[in-house]
Structure 1
Amino acid sequence: MPIQGHSYDVIVGSGALAELADVIPSSAERIAVVTQPGIPAQFNELAAYVPDCAVEVFEIGVGEGAKTLATIEQLMRSFARMGLNRNDVVIGAGGGMVTDVAGFAAASWHRGIPVVHVSTSLLGMVDAAIGGKTGVNLPEGKNLVGAFWQPSGVICDLDALATLPPREMRCGLGEMAKYHFLTGDDLLAMELEERIARCIEIKAEVVASDEREGGRRALLNYGHTLAHALEIATDHRLAHGEAVAIGLIYAAELGLELGRIDEARVAEHRAVVAGEYDLSTRPPDGLAVDDLVALMHRDKKALTGLTFALDGPDGVEVVTGVDEAPVRAALERFLAS
């Protein structure tokens, strides 16, 4: 991952966990492993891979309801009890929620200590575990409190994917689908391992040019503006990757409403999301336009009015100050579809 002044390795493949020691900082004497119930033991019982370190494992709750400042406080107090210092390391072992929380905890403890991610979900491998965005939720919005904190390394052991429930795998496919529209690559022609590695390369190239999301990095949020609103509006009954899949279709519909793309390009979005990945392309029933628009106004990208990553003649671009009228028109049509 070529971040200016802080490059790190992302190791992808079956059995990649065996290389964990290679990405642990040599200064570490203690390791705090942040994980959660349900993560297979071989991916969070890591003492055998780092025999020269004292390892303690801390479980956090499952689901977005545990992605809170209260969880961060609990971890901080655990770090204090074990004597974790700036020479030591935190490992986030799990899916995207775990690595978001572990990364924020590491960024905050002693104003920043190293973190390594052992990603066990497809969504984490292609998105959450790489790039250094960390954070937790507030009732007012998703990931509103956090930090940019690059890991010292990331392990993507593809053996973990065999343990994923079908819904978790679909969530990763929803996040993967966005990469089809960020480059001209024929990702569908690739085997899964190659496709994961290519998604990581795409994200690395974007993040290297804009680490702190001052502009271009927001492209990686294609489909996410509505997705985050949908997650909150459904009390997270709609999982992140599921919401992103729906958000990609809405972004295409909004692009059509604004005259940026044509019907054929919208159909291409539907063909990838629904046809190739077999994901839902319509939002749940019972949602209100006013509520969703209000939630989209809270999006972190919304610096000057409503902001979206939108497809267009030059590809996906960040578009600021989008007028609310076409947003509502596209949303009303979309909810009624």
Structure 2
Amino acid sequence: MPVHYNACFSPSTFSLTGIPQLEAAHVWISIPFCSMYLIAVVGNCTILFIVKTEPSLHEPMYFFLSMLAVVDLVLSSSTMPKLLDIFWFDNKEIGFHACLFQMFIIHSFATIESGIFVAMAFDRYVAICAPLRHKTILTHSVVARIGLAATLRGVLYISPLPLLVHRYRYFLTNVIAHSYCEHMAVVMLSCEDISISDIYGVTIGFLVLILDSLCIGLSYIFIFRAVMSLATLEARLKTFSTCTSHICAILAFYIPIVVSSLIHRFGHSVAPPAHIFLANFYLLIPPVLNPIVYAVRTKEIQRKLAKMVTWHKGEAIGLG
């Protein structure tokens, strides 16, 4: 459909720009994005397969890791296929309702992932501060309920965002200066009063970020106190090393999302390509890094990977 700029209208589709100002380089830009997406899919599917097939990994930490892998697969797949469609085929159109659905998936699953990080922090707290009660506190049913609670929270918190946008019927343009249907990127195109959407989006964003960060920070304060009470430096390092994967995953998730949010609202002098790159990276970097970090830092996963590689080598030699 034609793009209108001079008058408000009611669009049936939106047009995503991909990476603005870099349209001529879209094919080249697609190479790292496609590579990272494939790594994310293969890495997280491998984590899910390993946890499912290895009975020794049927513990709270790895169940939460599996939840994280599922969320990362959904988050990366909610944007990358469409982005690659734009890069390769210049297919920029997305239906109005499809755009709202993508908005819901992106923001709700980002909220779910934040909740899972809180749950993983609680798991580390119990494992280090109350190791003898770890299995009795975090039973399989409790872990399942925590995962369900994180999911319901994400759905309930984020559902109003697309519902509020659905009420807007008139827009200045249907061109979204973004590579996906980010909430404020869509809302700012409306001709109508967007104050409720703006206030709700900011409130939920800061509520999730601040509360979850406080919960994680509090858990690590208690963990640090427990670690420092250990008798030897070797014991302290060995105990705290069980938290390093979680800390790396948290930093990979929260830092890009905080910087992207701040730039979107306050960094008006930042060039659009830089902002869009960062907005895509915060949805793609955690799915890429999380499997790598946990594979590198977790001996149980390393052993299972080594078994898989050895088995496949043996099969290849046998076939030869």
What range describes the TM-score normalised by the shorter chain of this pair?
under 0.3
Of structures 1 and 2, the one scoring higher in RCO (CA 8 A, sep 6+) is: 2
TM-score, with length taken from structure 2: 0.25
Q: Identify, as 1 or 2, the structure richer in strand.
A: 1
TM-score, with length taken from structure 1: 0.24
Q: Identify, as 1 or 2, the structure richer in helix.
A: 2
